[in-house]
Amino acid sequence: TERSMALAEQAKRVAAEFEFGQEDVRKAVKEFIREMNEGLERDGTELSQIPTYVTAVPNGTEKGLYMAVDLGGTNFRVCSIQLHGNTTFSLTQSKVAIPRELMVAKTAKELFSFLAKQIEIFLKTHHEEHYFSHIRRRKTGDRINEEEIFNLGFTFSFPVHQIGINKGLLMRWTKGFDIQDAVGKDVCALLQAEIDELHLPVRVAALVNDTVGTLMARSYTSPGKTGTLLGAIFGTGTNGAYVEKLDKLTKLTNNQKAGDYDKSTGEMVVNTEWGSFDNSLRTLPNTPYDIELDAKSVNPGIQMFEKRVSGMFLGEVLRLALVGLLEDPSIPLFRDENSAQNDVHSTTQIHEGSGLWKQWGIDTSFLSICAGDHSPGYRMTRQTLDKDYGISAVSAEDAEAVRVIAAAVGRRAARLSAVAIAAIIIETGRLNASSTTGTATTEKKAGVELPRGDFDSAGRGEVPEEDVIDIGVDGSLVEFYPGFEDHVRQALREVEEIGEAGEKRIRIGIAKDGSGVGAALIALVAGKAV
Ligand code: ADP
């Protein structure tokens, strides 16, 4: 019909605004590399390139019992991790909600003594023998056995200025926390003081950023022998950490006041904080929807890459694009007076209170539903619009229009993600480090793998193990958005330096439990360095 043709036309027009073509990708990769190098040399740049003091990644043979704690937003997780030394591990964990009054306590002690108390409860419950033998020794005055002390990795998801592997000064609180007394203090020391007060056999060995945890967890469980290059998160936010040559990290190596670190590997993991890539919009796309989202955000002008890529924002980008169409009365979206629903003809209605009219009203999981909906007449998409978003009796052609735009938003996010991945692969020179022998190995794989995309040659063992460039990823977007990896790979192939040959060497796998096993592994490396 004429209506459906007009609508399809409009949907295509909006989708085209989200095109991020081959030339765009190439230009953005160049800019990303430029910003990476700038961030390695000095502070205050768009990519922060934070030195993490982690100087090696695991190879799967690491062994031992470690602890990890994670202070995120709402919960405090405590776990112990047994590394079996064969790329596998066992994890025991407990989780408690952080009492609201402690988030805004007068003193840091109130919060951190609560955290230490949770560690004590965990030890008594899950490592009773260990705990009581330690207490006994203390009472009898026996020497504390070094081996009885747990090394602990502390994942702390607030902005810290890290000055050593287990030293970091809190810059400011976020996510509803506000304890002024703690600002400027070393959060590891705050936790250690409370642990010591309870006489627990625990040493805070490492301060952990979640992307570094992802990198470490993947490197331990990855089947390869080359070590993982990059850990990346595509969840609420997006960020990545990768292995960099120490001699390029001149802002650290030239800094007389920098803390101690192990120089023997010649490498250090760098936390890029890539959410703020290209804040000045030299190469990022900028549709009217991006502009509006940014203007109405709590932090206009910053985290510009994140606002085009991560789960927190993609639903809103789609919402603004749909609202844009609805604001034009000549466009027939959701104006179907004769939409067929189970053979009953009815009028499409946008109910009052629909998420369509509220900022953040559409969740990014809706994009995943659209992308995965192959049901006849897009039943899944229509049902979700009805059930979750208060838009009832949507016709199949309207659902199709929504899907076209949603797909364009998702595809652009994946292609932008590829920009970060490509830049890091190129800048680190990993493509040049290639084997001369061409024997393909088909090792048994450990860890969780993404469902294989059509293009994952490295993951299928078709590439010599020495040539594989391994990447660990985590987050709902990469885990649940159908085709995310394939879009990433398509864009990677379009980058000249990578091409089809380079793309084949890239293996992408899910790394779960970064704040558990990843933090434990950092505690292990930290313990070794001492
Ligand atoms: P976090 O990054 O906070 O640790 P997640 O990785 O689960 O947690 O990311 C949560 C984000 O992912 C939210 O912004 C949410 O909108 C989005 N999200 C949740 N489910 C899906 C899904 N099925 N597909 C795409 N995005 C999703």
Within-domain flag for 376: no
Within-domain flag for 283: no
170 and 254 in a single domain? The answer is no
**Residue 439: what pLDDT?**
37
- How far does residue 192's CA lie from ligand 1's centre (Å)? 33
202 and 80 in a single domain? The answer is yes
- How far does residue 137's CA lie from ligand 1's centre (Å)? 47
**Shortest-distance Cα residue to atom 4 of ligand 1:** 235
**Shortest-distance Cα residue to atom 23 of ligand 1:** 365
Apex CA 448: angle with CA 205 and CA 407, to 5°? Answer: 110
- How far does residue 368's CA lie from ligand 1's centre (Å)? 10
Within-domain flag for 136: yes
204 and 69 in a single domain? The answer is yes
Structure tokens at 209: 């950023």
Out of 71, 319, 409, 476, give the residue to mutate to test ligand 1, the one with the largest number of ligand atoms within 8 Å of its CB.
Answer: 476
The CA distance from 424 to 472, in Å, is 13
**Residue 129: what pLDDT?**
85
**Residue 46: what pLDDT?**
92
- How far does residue 487's CA lie from ligand 1's centre (Å)? 18
The CA distance from 461 to 468, in Å, is 9
Within-domain flag for 458: yes
The CA distance from 196 to 200, in Å, is 6
- How far does residue 255's CA lie from ligand 1's centre (Å)? 38
Q: Which residues line ligand 1 (CB under 6 A)?
A: 235-236, 311-312, 363-365, 368, 475-477, 480-481
SS3 content of the chain, % helix, strand, coil (to 5): 45, 20, 35
180 and 265 in a single domain? The answer is no
**Residue at a domain's end among 208, 237, 259:** 208
Mind giving me the DSSP string for 86-131? SS-EEEEEEEEEPPHHHHT-SSHHHHHHHHHHHHHHHHHHH-HHHH
- How far does residue 236's CA lie from ligand 1's centre (Å)? 5
* Residue matched to tokens 């490295």: 458
- How far does residue 235's CA lie from ligand 1's centre (Å)? 5
pLDDT in tens, 425-445: 999 999 987 654 333 333 334
Structure tokens at 42: 């000095």
**Shortest-distance Cα residue to atom 27 of ligand 1:** 365
Apex CA 164: angle with CA 162 and CA 165, to 5°? Answer: 100
Total domain count, the chain = 2
**Residue 276: what pLDDT?**
93
Out of 70, 365, 409, give the residue to mutate to test ligand 1, the one with the largest number of ligand atoms within 8 Å of its CB.
Answer: 365
Q: Which residues contact 19 (CB under 8 A, 6 or more apart)?
A: 408, 412
pTM: 0.91
**Shortest-distance Cα residue to atom 17 of ligand 1:** 311
**Shortest-distance Cα residue to atom 24 of ligand 1:** 365
* Start-to-end C-alpha separation, the chain: 73
pLDDT in tens, 195-240: 999 999 999 999 999 999 999 999 999 877 789 999 999 998 999 9
The CA distance from 523 to 514, in Å, is 13
**Residue 451: what pLDDT?**
59
Within-domain flag for 32: no
Nearest atom of ligand 1 to the alpha carbon of 310: 14
**Shortest-distance Cα residue to atom 21 of ligand 1:** 365
112 and 68 in a single domain? The answer is yes
191-210 burial, b at 16+ Cβ within 10 Å, e below that, comes to bbbbbeeeebbbbbbbbbbb
Residue ranges in the chain whose pLDDT is less than 50: 436-447, 530
Within-domain flag for 509: yes
130 and 181 in a single domain? The answer is yes
248 and 153 in a single domain? The answer is no
- Which residue segment(s) compose the domain that 248 sits in? 229-277+413-515
- How far does residue 311's CA lie from ligand 1's centre (Å)? 5
